[in-house]
């Protein structure tokens, strides 16, 4: 009996240790990404490799901007992510509101169809999407990235859930009785109440667009139009990869995400797992 | 504020107006590509010759895919990766979530955040970083493994010589699996934490009163209650694992690695279209892979779903 009590008392400490060491292992790659960003290629590939920050960050940045149009690529990433977020928020809040609080023909069928595509593997649309963009003349156009992105099934799901859970039907009816128009109801009542969900969906959309690799890989052909992930990958070559510059670029691409995540980790985590948990 | 009634949208038409922007985009960029890809799978076409040059070839593309050695190889690679990266995620995430749930209160959000962070970062940045960490002579992973060789007992399980992770065919897949594991384990921890919160506390209290140890409680209360979430999480991992593209693509420089050991089916069908210019065959392969995903999802569903209508 006393053995068991002792084991039960030790268990939390073992748990702390395991969970803590695990968390450090999870964070270590991020640490080394930032450390390597401040070292030259020869320093990164030496024994022992650098374990602390160096002073070559600006040199790496110079190499980076000489090899690729880095600031342009960064600008496109930001532009596409912002445009994609704005469109997704607008279209999905409108659609989610309609799905949650209106009755109309084929509603169940349409919603079922949208939800079915949630589980559809992303590689299915890869080839036809390229062909559509080619026909539309959207190759090398940022809109080829943010316009299709706005048709987010996940966004519709999230918005519908949130509207259904937090906006009472009676409120909408009362506004209608008072003579408020349908668009007025959406802009004055629905949108303000949707703020928390809009924040979550906005963060998720921005991050997904910022990280998107397959989309630009398929539609962006000229290096001036590359978004950041594509530009970084173009620096990789079998020989002579500028590892320091590549790490500096990766660190710059990762830093905004880490900041966003630290500021809103709870909201982000619950938003990203919302489909799973409900 | 009052708009003349004639210009107002009636509540009957409002939903159509609200939903149409999304639906139009969804039809053009979500549903149409899917239908078009099915059509394309029965055609032969090269992007250089214009849309008019498309020709119906029946099931030739499917027959070609099924006879193609590389296609089968890519399927085997994909299956290997889905299992080797997926299964450990759950084996680690379940006890981890249990530890966090039972022992962490104040630090909890920080700890969960640390595990979750890889999930939100760019796959490309991550894969680039790992390709330097996996470097044979100077990579930190090999240096770490060498250091562990010096530790008694633990050293027996460690490789004596530096591993050529990205050059040797047999090591590429484990390297990819390690990255995928690292990236998604936190996501699963969050799923299991959410499920653990729904287990009533008094069950554990009653079990403690009856003298059940923490281990017994884990086996007899926690695990059975987690079953629906395990089903869901494993399904997500299977679907995700079979789509694996970015990590192996970056790690192998977009070509699948030596002896195509890191070439997943998603990479192969990308190459079939954009490197080998055979869009018909690539579409046929995407549908074949889709069938595999559907069957495996259905099988995991059957294996994990509790019997009876309650599920």
Q: Does A27 sit within 8 Å of B125, measured CB to CB? A: no
Residue B143 has pLDDT above 90, yes or no: no
Do residue A87 and residue A200 come from a single domain? yes
* A88, part of any domain: yes
In this structure, the answer to whether residues A114 and A36 fall within a common structural domain is no
Q: What was the pLDDT predicted at B290?
A: 93
Compare CB distances from B124 to A45, A128, A213 and report the shortest one's residue: A213
**Contact assignment for B36 to A135 by CB distance below 8 Å:** no
Give the model's pLDDT for residue A275: 64
Q: What angle do CA A273, A155, A216 make, to 5 degrees?
A: 95
For residue A217, the enclosing domain spans: 78-223
Q: Quick check: is A16 in a domain?
A: yes
**For residue A207, what is the domain's CATH number?**
1.10.3720.10
In this predicted structure, which of A55-64, B63-72, B156-165 has the lowest mean pLDDT?
B156-165
Residue holding tokens 């998603």? Answer: B266
For the residues B179-195, what does the mean pLDDT come to? 94
Are A162 and A96 in a shared domain? yes
> Is the per-residue pLDDT at B239 higher than 80?
yes
Please provide the DSSP assignment of chain A as one string.
-HHHHHHHHHHHHHHHHHHHHHHHHHHHHHHHHHHHTTS-HHHHTSSSPP-S--S-HHHHHHHHHHHS-HHHHHHHHHHHHHHHHHHHHHHHHHHHHHHHH---TTHHHHHHHHHHHHTS-GGGGHHHHHHHHHHHT-TT-THHHHHHHT--HHHHHHHHHHHHHHS-HHHHHHHHHTT--HHHHIIIIIHHHHHHHHHHHHHHHHHHHHH--HHHHHH--SGGG--HHHHHHHT--SS---HHHHHHHHHHHHHHHHHHHHHHHHHHHHHHTHHHH-
If asked whether residues A207 and A240 sit together in one domain, one would say no
A116 domain-assigned = yes
Residues A43 and A8 both lie in one domain: yes
Q: Using an 8 Å Cβ cutoff, are B77 and B268 in contact? A: no
Give the ipTM of the model, two decimals please.
0.90
The reported pLDDT for the residue numbered B308 is 46
A 181-220 residues inside an 8 A Cβ radius of B: 181-184, 186, 207, 210-211, 213-214, 218
Domains and CATH numbers, chain B: 60-120+171-304 (1.10.3720.10)
So what's the pLDDT on residue A2?
Answer: 54
Percent of chain B with pLDDT over 90: 49
Interface of B with A in 8-47 (CB under 8 A): 8-12, 14-19, 21-23, 25-26, 28-34, 36-37, 40, 47
Q: Write the pLDDT tens digit of every residue in B95-117.
A: 999 989 888 888 888 899 999 99
Kindly provide the residue ranges of all beta strands, DSSP E only, lying in chain B, ordered along the sequence: 43-44, 55-56
The count of domains in chain A is 2
- B144 touching chain A per CB within 8 A: no
User: Do A8 and B213 make contact, defined as CB atoms within 8 angstroms?
Assistant: yes
**What is the interface size between A and B, counted as CB pairs within 8 Å?**
284
Mean pLDDT by runs of 10 across the 278 residues of chain A is 60 83 94 94 84 92 94 97 97 95 92 88 89 92 94 93 92 91 92 93 94 94 94 85 92 94 88 70
Using CB atoms and an 8 Å cut-off, which of residues 249-278 of chain A contact chain B? Answer: 250-251, 253-254, 257-258, 260-262, 265-266, 268-269, 272-273, 276-277
The least confident of A1-15, B36-50, B56-70, B81-95 is A1-15
Mean pLDDT computed over every residue of chain B: 87
Nearest chain A Cα distance for residue B238, angstroms? 11
Q: Are residue A159 and residue A110 in the same domain, yes or no?
A: yes
**CA separation for the pair A64, A235 (Å, rounded):** 9
Please enumerate in sequence order all residues whose Cβ is within 8 A of that of B252, keeping only pairs 6 or more positions apart, or say none: B166, B172, B262, B263, B267
What are the C-alpha distances in Å from A36 to residues B65, B143, B297? 43, 16, 41
Within a domain: A72? no
DSSP string, A143-165: HHHHHHHT--HHHHHHHHHHHHH
Same domain flag for A158 and A255: no
Res B3 pLDDT > 60: no
For B266-310, write each residue's pLDDT tens digit. 999 999 999 998 999 999 999 999 999 889 888 877 776 655 444
Q: Is the pLDDT of residue B56 over 60?
A: yes
Q: Based on the domain organization, do A91 and A213 belong to the same domain?
A: yes
Q: Which of A152-161, B64-73, B178-187, B231-240 shows the lowest mean pLDDT across its residues?
A: B231-240
Residues A145 and A181 in one domain: yes
Q: Does A275 fall in a domain?
A: no
Do A96 and A31 fall within a single domain? no
The answer to whether residue A228 is domain-embedded is no
Asked whether the predicted pLDDT for residue B118 surpasses 50, the reply is yes
What does the alpha-carbon distance between residue B227 and residue A114 come to, in Å, rounded to a whole number? Answer: 28
**B116 preceded by a cis bond (ω within 30 of 0):** no
Whether residue B253 and residue A16 make contact (CB cut-off 8 A), yes or no, is no
Please tell me the predicted confidence (pLDDT) of residue A8: 64
Q: Is A194 in the same domain as A259?
A: no
């Amino acid at each position: 009996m006393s053995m068991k009590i002792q084991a039960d008392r030790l268990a939390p400490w073992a748990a702390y240790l395991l969970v803590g060491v695990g968390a450090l292992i999870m964070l270590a790659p991020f640490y080394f990404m930032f450390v390597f960003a401040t070292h030259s290629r020869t320093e990164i590939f030496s024994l022992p490799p650098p374990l602390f920050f160096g002073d070559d960050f600006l040199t790496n940045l110079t190499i980076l901007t000489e090899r690729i149009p880095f600031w342009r690529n960064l600008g496109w990433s930001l532009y596409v992510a912002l445009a994609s977020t704005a469109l997704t928020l607008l279209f999905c809040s409108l659609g989610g509101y309609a799905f949650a609080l209106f009755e109309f023909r084929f509603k169940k069928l349409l919603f079922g169809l949208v939800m079915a595509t949630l589980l559809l593997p992303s590689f299915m649309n890869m080839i036809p999407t390229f062909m559509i963009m080619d026909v539309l003349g959207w190759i090398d156009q940022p809109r080829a990235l943010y316009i299709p992105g706005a048709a987010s099934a996940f966004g519709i799901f999230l918005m519908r859930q949130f509207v259904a859970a937090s906006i009472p039907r009676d409120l909408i009816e009362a506004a209608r009785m008072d003579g408020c128009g349908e668009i007025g109801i959406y802009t004055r009542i629905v949108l303000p109440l949707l703020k928390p969900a809009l924040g979550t969906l906005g963060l998720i959309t921005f991050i997904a667009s910022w990280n998107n690799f397959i989309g630009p890989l398929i539609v962006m052909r000229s290096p001036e139009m590359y978004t950041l992930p594509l530009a970084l990958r173009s620096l990789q070559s079998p020989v002579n990869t500028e590892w320091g510059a590549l790490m500096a670029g990766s660190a710059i691409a990762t830093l905004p995400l880490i900041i966003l995540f630290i500021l809103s980790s709870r909201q982000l985590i619950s938003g990203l797992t919302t489909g799973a948990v409900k | 504020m009052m708009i003349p009634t004639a210009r107002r949208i009636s509540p009957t038409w409002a939903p159509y107006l609200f939903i149409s922007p999304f639906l139009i985009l969804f039809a053009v960029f979500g549903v149409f590509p899917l239908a078009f890809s099915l059509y394309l799978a029965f055609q032969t076409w090269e992007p250089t010759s214009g849309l008019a040059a498309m020709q119906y070839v029946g099931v030739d593309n499917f027959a070609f895919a099924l006879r193609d050695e590389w296609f089968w190889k890519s399927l085997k690679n994909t299956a290997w990766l889905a299992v080797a990266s997926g299964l450990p995620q759950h084996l680690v995430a379940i006890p981890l979530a249990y530890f966090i749930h039972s022992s962490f209160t104040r630090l909890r959000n920080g700890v969960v955040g640390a595990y979750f962070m890889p999930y939100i970062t760019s796959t490309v940045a991550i894969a680039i970083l790992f390709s330097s960490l996996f470097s044979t002579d100077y990579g930190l992973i090999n240096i770490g493994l060498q250091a562990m060789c010096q530790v008694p007992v633990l050293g027996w399980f460690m490789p004596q010589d530096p591993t050529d992770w990205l050059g040797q065919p047999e090591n590429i897949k484990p390297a990819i699996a390690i990255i995928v594991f690292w990236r998604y384990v936190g996501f699963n921890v969050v799923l299991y934490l959410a499920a653990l919160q729904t287990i009533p506390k008094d069950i554990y209290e009653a079990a403690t009163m009856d003298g059940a140890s923490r281990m017994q409680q884990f086996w007899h209360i926690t695990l059975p209650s987690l079953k629906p979430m395990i089903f869901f999480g494993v399904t997500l991992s299977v679907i995700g694992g079979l789509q694996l593209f970015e990590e192996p693509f970056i790690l192998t420089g977009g070509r699948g690695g030596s002896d195509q050991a890191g070439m997943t089916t998603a990479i192969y069908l990308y190459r079939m279209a954009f490197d080998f210019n055979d869009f018909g065959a690539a579409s046929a392969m995407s549908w074949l892979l889709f069938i595999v995903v559907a069957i495996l999802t259905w099988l995991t569903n059957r294996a994990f779903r509790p019997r009876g209508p309650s599920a």
